[in-house]
Amino acid sequence: MVEIGAGLGSLTVALAASGAAVTAVEVDRGITPVLREMVEPLGVLVVEADAMSCDWSELLAAAPRWVLVANLPYNVATPLVLDLLREVPAIGRMLVMVQREAGERLVAVPGARNFGAVSVRVAYFATAALVGRVSPGVFLPRPNVESVLVELVRRESPAVDPGVASYEEIDLLLRAGFGGRRKMIRRSLEGLVDEATFAVAGIDGRSRAEELGIAQWGKLVACRRSITSGHQPS
């Protein structure tokens, strides 16, 4: 297991007691000496590093598969989760505590109030579920926000075959599609996807971006690619 933001080690101790081989990552150099004193006798490896910029391939070189646990601040939660899904395949599962609004976006399905581009990007790599709610009353000082626990399980292969539609191609359409949120998709993707592509993909151009799931975004990319190359999509 790898824990981000180990702090003073209260969760780290519990993880080590479970029998897991634990690597604890902590960015605060004022805390790490105390953390080391607390958990290194239990066999925990403590690494002083920033999770947003560290070398993950080096950090996780000791084992082929990892489970990640973390309590993530609001401002880094979404970009860090997406970076790890995209760039660190050794992490097969994550259990993260995040602010409720961020967590609900990670797990949202098409048509849901919080569904957005982030939801589609997560779905490309993983399945995501909200597995718990955390009351503000368990924290000192008490925050003004609610927190949730989100579990993300990496798919054995992406939801869309990268040979048919790559993540980068899908992301290009997501940026345009959700940049014109609440617009008809044919308007927000104007200049990127033509009417013929919508027709071949079987997607109504009057739909909104927030109504399309990862399979439909992948289909748009595949049909766009095939029509551009002059081949009939399968």
CA distance 195 to 197: 5
> pLDDT category, 138, cuts 50, 70, 90?
confident
CA distance 96 to 148: 8
Exposed/middle/buried for 141, CB within 10 Å: 0-12, 13-18, 19+? exposed
Q: What's the predicted TM-score (pTM) here?
A: 0.92
Sheet with 23-26, edge to edge strand ranges: 45-48, 23-26, 2-4, 66-71, 91-99, 147-154, 126-134
> pLDDT category, 197, cuts 50, 70, 90?
very high
Task: Count CB-CB contacts under 10 A for residue 35.
Answer: 20
Place of tokens 């066999």: 43
What are the structural domains of the chain? 2-154 (3.40.50.150), 167-229 (1.10.8.100)
| Percent with pLDDT over 90 in the chain | 88
Asked if 190 and 217 count as a contact pair (C-beta separation under 8 A), the reply is no
Give tens-digit pLDDT for 59-93.
Answer: 999 999 999 999 998 889 999 999 999 999 999 99
Mapped onto helix, strand or coil, the DSSP state of residue 52 is coil
CA distance 110 to 233: 24
CA distance 102 to 52: 17
Give tens-digit pLDDT for 98-114.
Answer: 999 999 999 999 999 99
Exposed/middle/buried for 152, CB within 10 Å: 0-12, 13-18, 19+? buried
Q: What is the mean pLDDT of residues 16-32?
A: 96
CA distance 197 to 155: 28
